[in-house]
Chain A
Amino acid sequence: MVSLLWLIPALPLAGFVLLLLLGKRIGEPFSGWIGTATVAGSFVTALVVFAGLWNEPEHTYSLTLFGWMAAGRFSVDIGFLLDPLSMAMILFITGIAALIHLYSIGYMHGDSRFPRFFTYLNLFVFSMLMLVMGDNLVLTFLGWEGVGACSYFLISFWFEKDANASAGKKAFITNRVGDWGFMVGTFAVFFAFGTVKYVEFLPNASGLAQTTATFIILMLFIGAMGKSAQIPLFIWLPDAMAGPTPVSALIHAATMVTAGVYLMVRVNPIIAASASWLPWVIAGIGVATAFLAATIAIAQTDIKKVLAYSTVSQLGYMFLAVGVGGYSAAVFHMITHAFFKACMFLGSGSVIHGMSDEQDMRRMGALRKVMPITAITFIIGWLAIAGVPPFSGFWSKDDILAYALHKSVVLYVIGLITALLTAFYMSRQVFMVFYGKANWGESHGAELANKLAHETASADGDGHVDEAGDAHVGAHADDHAGHSVHPHESPRTMTIPLIVLAFFAAIAGLLNLPFTENLEFLNRWLEPVVGATQTKLHLSGGQLAFELITSSVVALLGISIAYAVYLKHKVDARKIELPLFANGWYIDSTITNFMGGLGRKGFELIAMFDKVVIDGAVNGVARATRGGAMRLRTVQSGYVRWYALMIGVGAVVIVAFVLSQVSFS
Chain B
Amino acid sequence: MSPNLPLAYLALSAILFAIGGVGLLVRRNPLVMIMCVELMLNAVNLTFVTFGKMLDDISGQVIVFFVMVVAAAEVVIGLALIVALARRRPDANADDLRLLRG
A contact set with B: CB distance below 8 Å: 632-641, 644-645, 648
Contact indicator B26/A641 (Cβ below 8 Å):
yes
Flag if A640 contacts B21 (CB, 8 Å): no
Q: Is the CB of A641 within 8 A of B98?
A: no
Do residues A641 and B94 form an inter-chain contact, with CB atoms below 8 A? Answer: yes
Smallest CB–CB gap between A518 and chain B, Å? Answer: 96
Q: Is B77 an interface residue (CB 8 A)?
A: no
B102 within 8 A of A: yes
9 contacts between A and B (CB under 8 A): A637-B98, A637-B102, A638-B100, A638-B102, A640-B33, A640-B94, A640-B97, A641-B26, A641-B94
B86: shortest Cβ distance to chain A, in Å?
16
A636: chain B residues within 8 A (beta carbon): 100-102
Contact between B101 and A638, CB atoms less than 8 A apart:
yes
B33 to chain A, nearest CB (A): 7
B47 to chain A, nearest CB (A): 14
Question: Is the pair A638, B98 in contact by a Cβ cutoff of 8 Å?
Answer: yes
Instruction: Give the chain A neighbours of B33 by CB distance below 8 A.
Output: 640-641
CB closest residue in chain B, given A645? B25
Q: Is there an interface contact between A633 and B102, defined as CB atoms closer than 8 Å?
A: yes
Chain A residues with CB below 8 A from B26, complex form: 641
A638 touches B94 (CB 8 A): no
Point out the residues of chain B lying under 8 angstroms from A640, CB to CB.
Answer: 33, 94-95, 97
Given contacts A645-B25, A648-B21, contact A639 B95 (CB under 8 A): yes
Contacts of A639 in B (CB 8 A): 94-95, 98
A10 to B33, CA, bound (A): 86
B24 at the binding interface (Cβ < 8 Å)? yes
Instruction: List, in ascending order, chain B residues with CB within 8 A of A648's CB.
Output: 21
CA distance A648 to B40 in the complex (A): 12
Determine the chain B residues whose CB is within 8 A of the CB of A644 once the complex forms.
21, 24-25
- State which residues 9-24 of B face A: CB under 8 Å: 21, 24
Report the minimal beta-carbon distance from A209 to chain B, rounded to whole angstroms.
Answer: 63
A638-B97, A644-B21, A644-B24 given. 6 additional CB < 8 A pairs?
A636-B102, A637-B101, A638-B100, A641-B24, A641-B33, A644-B25
What's the A-B contact tally at a CB cutoff of 8 Å?
34
A632 to B101, CA, bound (A): 12
Task: Choose one: A632, A638, A641; the contact of B99 (CB below 8 Å).
Answer: A638
**A633, B101: Cα distance in complex, Å:** 8
Closest chain B CB from A420 CB (angstroms) = 86
A-B interface, 8 closest residue pairs, ranked by CB to CB distance from nearest: A638-B98, A638-B101, A633-B102, A636-B102, A641-B25, A640-B94, A644-B24, A637-B101
Residues on A with beta carbons closer than 8 Å to the beta carbon of B99: 638
Residues of B near A633 (CB, < 8 A) are: 102
CA–CA, A641 and B100, complex, Å = 14
Q: How far is the CB of A637 from chain B (nearest CB, A)?
A: 6
Complex Cα–Cα for A451 and B102 (A): 80
Q: Which residues in window 22-57 of B have CB below 8 A to A?
A: 24-26, 33
* Nearest CB in chain A to that of B36: its residue: A644
Q: Do A635 and B102 contact each other (CB < 8 Å), given the known contacts A640-B94, A640-B97, A641-B94?
A: yes
Chain A residue at minimum C-beta to C-beta distance from B98: A638
A635 to B101, CA, bound (A): 8
Q: Please encode chain B, from 74 to 102, with 1 for each CB lying within 8 Å of some chain A CB and 0 for all others.
A: 00000000000000000000110111111
CA–CA, A644 to B95, complex, Å? Answer: 13
Nearest B residue to A629 by beta-carbon distance? B102
Assembled-state Cα–Cα distance A648/B18 (Å): 11
Q: Which residues of A contact B95 (CB under 8 A)?
A: 639-641
Report the bound CA distance from A644 to B23 in whole Å. 11
A640 to B85, alpha carbons, bound, how many Å? 15
In the bound complex, residues from chain B placing their C-beta under 8 Å from that of A645 are 25
A161 to B100, CA, bound (A): 65
Give min CB distance, A644 to chain B, whole Å: 5
Query: Shortest CB–CB separation between residue B25 and chain A, in angstroms?
Result: 5
A393 to B60, CA, bound (A): 106
Q: Which residues of A contact B94 (CB under 8 A)?
A: 639-641
Interchain nearest-CB distance for B7 vs A (Å): 18
In Å, the complex CA distance between A637 and B24 comes to 16
How far is the CB of A99 from the nearest CB of chain B, in Å?
81
Which of A633, A638, A645 lies at the interface centre, i.e. has the most chain B CB atoms within 10 A of its CB? A638
Q: Which residues of A contact B21 (CB under 8 A)?
A: 644, 648
- Provide the residues of chain B in CB contact with A632, threshold 8 Å: 102
Cα–Cα, bound, A29→B85 (Å): 87
Roughly how many angstroms separate A637 CA and B25 CA in the complex, as a whole number? 14
Q: Which residues of A contact B100 (CB under 8 A)?
A: 636, 638
Residues of A within 8 A of B97 (CB): 638, 640
Which one of B94, B97, B98, B102 has the highest number of Cβ atoms from chain A below 10 Å of its Cβ? Answer: B102
The interface residues of chain B lying within 8 Å CB-to-CB of A635 are 102
- Residues from chain B with a CB closer than 8 A to the CB of A641 are 24-26, 33, 94-95
Question: In whole Å, how far is A281's beta carbon from the nearest beta carbon of chain B?
Answer: 67
**In the complex, chain B residues whose CB is within 8 Å of the CB of A638:** 97-102
CA distance A129 to B97 in the complex (A): 79
- Closest A residue to B33 by CB, please name it: A640
C-alpha gap A578/B94 in the complex (Å)? 95
| Residue of A whose beta carbon sits closest to that of B25 | A641
Q: Which residues does chain B contribute within 8 Å of A637, judged by CB atoms? A: 98, 101-102
Q: A634 to B25, alpha carbons, bound, how many Å?
A: 19
A645 to B95, CA, bound (A): 14
Q: A639-B95, A640-B33, A641-B94 are in contact. Are A634 and B24 (CB under 8 A)?
A: no
